[in-house]
Amino acid sequence: MQPAAPLSVPAEYHELTARVQALLYAADHIGHAVEALELRRLILAVDEALMRVHVWERSALFPLIAHRCAPLRPVLDRLHRSQRPDAPARKDLLLAVDLWARSGECELAAFARLREYSETCLGHLQVVKDYVLPVAADYLSPEDWSRVAVDLQ
């Protein structure tokens, strides 16, 4: 069932995920001349925005889609398991950046971990944006979208 009017939830979701993607891109392509503390700030900003996205997905969007569209449940379960890079990976990334900040020398390990972190986050966002949301548009009513929109704000 396609809604008659544009949905506010995907627009807000896309704005938030676009911010995450821009931050990840900036951190990943900033080059070795960047200050370690600037990179740390970007990583924490990404993490904060991702937390908001994933809380909304986990608490509002995914349960509703799973209820309305049973064939998507395995995809949603996999996305739920991979929503955020695991805590040790994030911790290792921040430790590498902190070591860089203390030593004053660029840590290549920090950039390698950042690339892994970025790829994990962007992969999740891509599946949701390119697959889950388009399928959800066929199964969720305008009322459903209005209900989950409240949780995103």
Rounded to the nearest 5 percent, the helix, strand and coil shares of the chain are: 85, 0, 15
The predicted pLDDT at position 67 comes to 92
Structure token pair of residue 40: 């740390």
Structure token pair of residue 134: 């388009």
Phi-psi region at 127: left, alpha or beta (left = phi > 0; alpha = psi -120 to 50): alpha
3-state SS, residue 4: coil
**Segments of the chain with pLDDT less than 50:** 1-9
Task: Work out the percent of the chain whose per-residue pLDDT is above 90.
Answer: 7
By the 8 A CB rule, do 65 and 72 touch?
yes
Predicted structure pTM score: 0.70
By the 8 A CB rule, do 4 and 138 touch?
no
